[in-house]
Amino acid sequence: MKRSILISVILFFTFVTFGNSQVTVVLQQPPPFKFNVDNLWKVTLTNPGSAVNVYLYGEVVTASGIKVVEGRTANFLLTSGTKKVAANEISPVDITKYDNTIDNTLKKTGTFKSGEYNICVYVRDALTNADLGVYCNLYEIINSTQSELIMPEDGESIMISRPVFSWLPPSPNPSGVIVTYQINIYPVMNRQTPYYASISSPAYYSEKNIKENVFQYPVAGKSLIPGMRYAWQISTFYNGVLYNSSEVRSFVFENNNFAETNSETESKNKSYLETYDNKFISASEYLNYKIKNLNSEEKIYSGNKKYPKLNLLNSAGKNDLSIINEKPFSFSASYKIFSNLQNYQSHGTQPPKNYISATFNPTITIYGIPFTADLYIDSKQRDFKQNLNSFAFLFDLNSLTKKIKTKLDEKKNQLIEEYKNKGEQELKKAITNAENSLPGYMKVLSMFKNIGIWETYPVYTDYTVSGVKVKGLDFTFNPGLIYLQATGLSNLDKITDSVFSRNLYATSLGVGEKENSHWHFNFMKSFDNENSIDVSKLNSQITPGENTVLGFDNQLNLFGERFSVKSEANVSVTTRDKLAPKLNEGELPKIIEDLTNANTSSQFDFMYRTVSKINIPESKSNIEAEYKLIGPGYITYGNPGLSGKGKYNIKVKLDQDLLEGKIKFTGSYEYRDNNVGGLNSVTTTSQKMDFKVSLKFEDAPTLMLRYIPVTDENDASLPGDYYKNNLDVFMMMSSLKYKTDGFLGFTTILVTSTSGKDNKILDSNNYSLMDLSVNQSINFKHIPFSINAGVSYNTKNSNNDKFNTTGVNISGTYTLFEIWSNTLGLNYLRETDKNKKLSLVFSTGLPILNLGDLFINAEQNFYSEDVFRYGDNDDFVLTATISKSF
């Protein structure tokens, strides 16, 4: 009997122990090659037995068996069934680090050094510490920097129809991983910044699986729009999975005829829309006038002076200074409507085939104060993007201030002349009276640099707030020495399953104007609204975050601005997941705990930058030196695309003019260390040089030569880990302008060469790409006709691709009644043994009664392939723009 009871007791405890040991632990998988310490506690537990008090225990062990981190949560009740562990149940978490360097990297980045780790999460009985369930897995962590964009430079004007994009690979470049890239090119619309264009506009062109760190706009791509500003970004993929993205840069695509305007032929050469602006009489009125007077020799203008200007810029009311004129109220406005119609979707484009956009800008000026509304509506809006449409009230008070200052200076000079034979006291009194004659409201408003209401793009510094859109209020108040800028409220709109809505507040307080000597303290706080998305239904890895940046920037100008030094230093505190478990008190510095909602996902890091400039006007020399360090964990929601994290830079630059500006030389050297945070066992260093020489002599061809060599190299001792990459960019541009009795000619030659080479045996990044373009423009003096023709030759040689491309383009422009421009053109591109494209283009610009100025462009493309890549496509593209200022 006793034996039976003993067996029953043993069986009972065995059953309980067995039942509890069957707790299933499932760890939510982080993105590939990444693992943050807060990922340890993102688990789902399944308990088939009865409820039990438990805690989670996690540990991180290197591949060699060295424990680097362990952590334990608070006790919580694990009920029967499946349960996703909530942060409030397991807080606070006690984390122990066994290495000072690990402690440093975790606080700065929340992750571990690059390498392989065995990561385990245990469910333990709170009473007996017995293991009830466990999950272990081997993870590889890679800490690589962003790709560094090389060409085009930010804001550069591009003059070839198929621009070349180049960048440096992430560093360190991981071995045994397939690295590919994606390029996205976005149109920058209305008041957008390049960054905001990248998160709101559908990509004008996108291409994946690029194997080299160079890309040339393809023959199959939709033609870039002349005069349009574009943003571009490179995303890096490891084994086909997105790893990170570069900063966002912009470029402007110029018309590929390279033509320069000339006062003798300006009205004939430039397109209708470029020639007329809101300062001249209506183009419709002028065209009607010319039609009615075809047989008349009467001229509406004489010499170089065109038609009488309308005074559309009415400003201040009547006062002693008569700031602009005496009108107390005036109204002006402008609008622009653009439409795009296609029969087929162009390759690589995200916008729909047919779309329309409209801009409307009414301005009311009351006693010299301009109140402008900016409304932009675009049908390309997509659910997976931020809001493309925008509205704002903009008060350009800075221009008013400049007008007031100009008038005051003019009045002071006038008084000095009038009172030159009188006493100094009388002169001072007269000047004081002139200054006091300004209405009080103007004195107050002149203290504001700008006021923007609703959707604005505030700029503080590149490392605090720059490039993001804020909905709310943004203003700058600068009365004398005091400087105040404030911004808020909303930053991002929610996108289901993708983006939490976000708020952003920023302020800058100090002394001195931003453009001159100053000292400003800057503060920014931004946070996601965790309730804007139902987190329980999320399938993605997104989490609601929070970011705080605190710092200062200053500038000191000395010796008549011959010498200046500018500095900036900031501390950034980022919480990657506001819903992560809390930490025990004392884990982070108290000031960080006070300023933020810190938890296990919080990190903090810093940046600083110093730039010194020396200006020597006697020798026309400018020397610049820069030192910059950005920690790997430095993040600002005010500039999410910030580049250079985890690097320190040293850069020196010289600008030198010779022979009264006929020769210009620019040279720079830049050194970068890409392992500031010690996140990698190897350190990659980059060296970049940039030499540019421009020659511009009278009656001689202009010449520009530029050479940019870049080297990336790490210090790995093992041959398999050692990596070296070289990138070389060379450009030559020459132009010659000449004239005869009958025409004005303009010839341009452009040569670009980009080459790359690395030491990889497999998947090497070796390539060379060369592009040659020759363009000729002829503008006839006695007839309103111009002709433009060009030829191009392009070749690429790499392990992945080889081709030769030949191109020919010719176009002619005829202008009727001096304002109605018509252009007919042909473009032909042939990529040997691959594809060919023929484009026929017709454009016309003309005034439509009093409705506005109409510009139409029709383009018929015939694209076919010898070897399938994108597919044949004979698309017809019709664009129309109508605009008017009144």
Residue 59 placed within a domain: yes
Strands (DSSP E) found in 529-601: 546-558, 563-575
Q: Is pLDDT of 252 > 80?
A: yes
Q: What is the mean pLDDT of the chain?
A: 85
CB atoms within 10 A of CB 840: 15
pLDDT bucket at 438, cuts 50 / 70 / 90: low
Q: Which residues pair with 363 in a beta bridge?
A: 332, 372
Q: How far apart are CA 804 and CA 792, in angstroms?
A: 11
Instruction: Please give the tally of structural domains in the chain.
Output: 1
pTM of the model: 0.86
Residue 786 tokens read as 């111009």
> pLDDT tens across 371-395, in order?
899 999 999 999 899 999 999 998 8
pLDDT for 313: 30
Residue 69 placed within a domain: yes
Residue 589 placed within a domain: no
Rounded to an integer, the average pLDDT of 102-117 is: 89
pLDDT for 102: 84
What type of residue is 284?
S
| Torsion (CA) 675, 678, 682, 688 in degrees, nearest 10 | 10
Q: Is pLDDT of 7 > 70?
A: no
What type of residue is 880?
A
Taking 3-state DSSP, the helix, strand and coil percentages for the chain, each rounded to the nearest 5, stand at 15, 50, 35
CB 779 within 8 A of CB 270: no
> pLDDT tens across 637-660, in order?
999 988 888 889 999 999 999 998
Q: Which residues pair with 794 in a beta bridge?
A: 771, 805
Query: Which positions ≥6 away from 811 have C-beta within 8 Å?
Result: 257, 787, 788, 789, 823, 824, 825, 826, 841
Q: How far apart are CA 311 and CA 850, in angstroms?
A: 18
The continuous run of DSSP H or E covering 436 comes out as: helix 424-436
Residue 593 DSSP SS3 = helix
The continuous run of DSSP H or E covering 90 comes out as: helix 87-90
Q: Is pLDDT of 817 > 50?
A: yes
Residue 549 placed within a domain: no
Q: Is pLDDT of 17 > 70?
A: no
Q: In this structure, what DSSP letter does residue 129 have?
A: -
Residue 299 tokens read as 């001229």
Rounded to an integer, the average pLDDT of 320-342 is: 76
Residue 697 placed within a domain: no
Rounded to an integer, the average pLDDT of 226-255 is: 93
Residue 369 tokens read as 């104060």
Q: Is pLDDT of 706 > 90?
A: yes
Which range is least confidently modeled, 132-146, 515-529, 576-590, 811-825?
576-590
Which range is least confidently modeled, 467-481, 535-549, 625-639, 806-820?
535-549
pLDDT for 641: 84
Name the region of 660 (left: φ>0; alpha: ψ -120 to 50; beta: rest).
Answer: left
Length of the chain counted residue by residue: 886
Pairing status of strand 156-158 against strand 249-253: parallel
What is the extent of the structural domain holding 113? Answer: 2-141
> pLDDT tens across 718-752, in order?
887 888 999 999 999 999 999 998 999 999 999 99
Which range is least confidently modeled, 515-524, 665-674, 678-687?
678-687
Q: How far apart are CA 683 and CA 674, in angstroms?
A: 6
First to last CA, the chain: 108
pLDDT for 2: 42
Query: Which positions ≥6 away from 148 have C-beta within 8 Å?
Result: 167, 168, 246, 643, 686
Pairing status of strand 852-865 against strand 249-253: unpaired
pLDDT bucket at 256, cuts 50 / 70 / 90: low
| 3-state SS track over 174-232 | CCCCCEEEEEEEEECCCCCCHHHHHHHCCCCEEEEEECCCEEECCCCECCCCCCCEEEE
Q: How far apart are CA 842 and CA 81, in angstroms?
A: 70
Residue 495 placed within a domain: no
pLDDT for 825: 95
CB 824 within 8 A of CB 787: no
Rounded to an integer, the average pLDDT of 298-306 is: 32
The torsion angles phi and psi of 841, rounded to 5 degrees, stand at -125, 135
Q: Is pLDDT of 290 > 70?
A: no
Residue 539 placed within a domain: no
pLDDT for 633: 92
Q: How far apart are CA 665 and CA 615, in angstroms?
A: 15
pLDDT bucket at 272, cuts 50 / 70 / 90: very low
Q: Is pLDDT of 416 > 60?
A: yes
Q: How far apart are CA 880 and CA 878, in angstroms?
A: 7
pLDDT bucket at 435, cuts 50 / 70 / 90: low
Q: Is pLDDT of 278 > 60?
A: no
Q: Give percent of the chain with pLDDT exceeding 70.
A: 87
Residue 531 DSSP SS3 = helix
Residue 870 tokens read as 């994108």
Q: Is pLDDT of 761 > 90?
A: no
Query: Which positions ≥6 away from 169 have C-beta within 8 Å?
Result: 147, 179, 213, 236, 712, 725, 765
Q: Which of 696, 688, 708 is nearest to 664 (CA)?
A: 696
Q: Is pLDDT of 514 > 50?
A: yes
> pLDDT tens across 176-189, in order?
889 999 999 999 99
Please provide the DSSP assignment of 473-517 as one string.
EEEEE-STTEEEEEEEEEEE--BTTTB--EEEEEEEEEES-TTSS
pLDDT for 440: 66
pLDDT for 553: 97
Residue 848 tokens read as 């439509």
CB atoms within 10 A of CB 3: 7
Between 22 and 627, name the one with better pLDDT: 627
Residue 314 tokens read as 């009415």
Pairing status of strand 702-714 against strand 724-739: antiparallel
Q: Find the CATH number of the domain harbouring 101.
A: 2.60.40.10
CB atoms within 10 A of CB 510: 18
Residue 47 placed within a domain: yes
pLDDT for 459: 94
**Where do the H-state alpha helices sit in 242-372?**
266-269, 272-275, 283-292
Q: Which of 682, 625, 623 is nearest to 649 (CA)?
A: 625
